[in-house]
């Protein structure tokens, strides 16, 4: 049986004869609402509901509307949909362009690809970390948790900026590698070995400095770095709650530890994997800052394209159309995320 919904109890007449005490303004409001036939609890529901409807839902409808407008040089830079009674719909110049111009499709697909790959990378690195944290001693566990949360609370922008310094051609990594190479000559040794094998006439390891900034590689690193805590935390929450006696029972029944890990631990952690995956993938698709700061001119991700379309080209209708396209893509993952949230609620009750 679900927990009782105490908001739905009979309101009762807040009469002076009743002995129960309430807050005067709340009682007055309740009296008023009951008198016009509205359940008092709607006074509470309406506030966040109205806010979200007005500032979250309605804006999407406006974006949809403007995606059908024409771009003009004016303030604001779009036309009205009905000009003196005539429907002035623009499909070809916004949505049409999305389809015809390869820039948009390219960014779109690129964003999906990069977000998906980054999600997998986050999982590959994050899962063992979350596992290690969950299985650690309680005192160590808290310390590790604190160490994961600390970057999360530090400015995202600053952390992405930090990678510029690391990845630049004369940045920290290249300098360190250069220093090591100058003294130990590891790379040249490997390269001569590789060439002597005769499999190829190109050296295996490229010459220093490596071009890491303004590449797809940098964007992958950036996304992995920024979103790693978002993958680790739900996974950790899931793994930490796991009943370890399940593994003991499996061992007792003759199951080897590695197999038990996959069949029991991983299976039970699937909700955590899904949660973490959605928390990484969905926002990563629309990322702007990371491709802008770390990516090159050919790392077009759809979020960056939208931003540029909006601010540089001042083409609001096209930008709106891009937004709608992204939303359409994300409906599926959003619903998966919602399902996971609902399951979490039920599970906790």
Residues in 191-230 at the binding interface with another protein, rule: CB under 8 A: 225, 228
69 vs 321: CA distance, rounded Å:
10
- Widest CA span of the chain, in angstroms? 100
- Close Cβ partners of 256 (under 8 Å, ≥ 6 residues apart): none
**Interaction residues for another protein, span 67-106 (CB under 8 A):** 76
Tokens of 217: 């590689």
Q: What is the three-class DSSP state of 207?
A: coil
48 near another protein, rule: CB under 8 A: yes
189 near another protein, rule: CB under 8 A: no
Query: Which window, 83-91, 94-102, 131-139, 193-201, contacts another protein (CB under 8 A)?
Result: 131-139
Residue 264 CB, nearest approach to another protein (Å): 14
Closest CB to another protein among 124 and 189? Answer: 124
Alpha helices in 213-315 (DSSP H): 216-240, 245-252, 257-260, 267-268, 270-285, 289-294, 302-311
134 vs 26: CA distance, rounded Å:
45
Residue 34 CB, nearest approach to another protein (Å): 12
- Which of 33, 116, 151, 271 contacts another protein by CB under 8 A? 151
Residue 336 CB, nearest approach to another protein (Å): 10
Closest CB to another protein among 194 and 314? Answer: 314
Write phi, then psi, for 289 (nearest 5 degrees).
-60, -45
307 near another protein, rule: CB under 8 A: yes
Residue 203 CB, nearest approach to another protein (Å): 26
Residue 237 CB, nearest approach to another protein (Å): 10
**Interaction residues for another protein, span 274-303 (CB under 8 A):** 278-279, 282-283, 285-289, 292-293, 303
Kind and range of the H or E element at 83?
Answer: strand 82-83
Size of the site for another protein (CB under 8 A): 112
Closest CB to another protein among 21 and 183? Answer: 21
What DSSP character marks residue 57? I
Q: For residue 60, give Cα distances in angstroms to 63, 195, 320.
A: 5, 58, 9
Query: Which window, 87-95, 128-136, 190-198, 203-211, contacts another protein (CB under 8 A)?
Result: 128-136
């Amino acid at each position: 049986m679900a927990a009782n919904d105490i908001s739905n109890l009979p309101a009762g007449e807040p009469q002076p004869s009743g002995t129960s005490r309430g807050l005067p303004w709340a009682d007055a409001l309740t009296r008023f609402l009951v008198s016009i036939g509205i359940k008092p609890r709607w006074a509470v529901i309406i506030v966040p509901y109205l806010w979200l409807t007005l500032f979250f839902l309605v804006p999407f409808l406006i974006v949809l509307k403007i995606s059908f407008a024409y771009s003009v040089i004016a303030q604001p830079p779009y036309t009205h949909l009905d000009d003196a009674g005539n429907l002035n719909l623009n499909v070809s110049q916004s949505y049409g362009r999305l389809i015809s111009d390869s820039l948009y499709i390219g960014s779109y697909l690129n964003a999906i690809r990069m977000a998906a790959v980054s999600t997998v990378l986050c999982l590959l690195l994050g899962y063992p970390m979350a596992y290690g944290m969950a299985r650690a001693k309680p005192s160590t566990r808290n310390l590790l948790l604190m160490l994961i949360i600390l970057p999360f609370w530090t400015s995202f922008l600053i952390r992405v900026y930090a990678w510029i310094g690391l990845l630049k051609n004369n940045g920290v990594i290249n300098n360190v590698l250069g220093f090591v190479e100058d003294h130990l000559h590891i790379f040249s040794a490997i390269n001569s070995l590789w060439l002597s094998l005769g499999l190829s006439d190109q050296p295996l390891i490229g010459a220093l400095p490596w071009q890491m900034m303004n590449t797809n590689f940098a964007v992958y690193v950036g996304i992995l770095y920024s979103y790693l805590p978002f993958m680790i935390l739900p996974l950790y929450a899931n793994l930490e709650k796991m009943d370890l006696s399940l593994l003991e029972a499996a061992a007792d029944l003759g199951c080897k530890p590695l197999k038990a890990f996959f069949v029991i631990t991983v299976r039970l952690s699937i909700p955590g994997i899904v949660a973490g995956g959605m928390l990484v993938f969905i926002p990563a698709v629309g990322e702007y800052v990371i491709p802008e700061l770390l990516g090159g001119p050919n790392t077009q991700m759809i979020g960056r394209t939208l931003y540029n379309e909006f601010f540089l080209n001042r083409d609001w209708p096209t930008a709106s159309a891009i937004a709608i396209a992204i939303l359409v893509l994300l409906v599926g993952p959003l619903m998966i995320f919602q399902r996971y949230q609902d399951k979490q609620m039920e599970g906790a009750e």
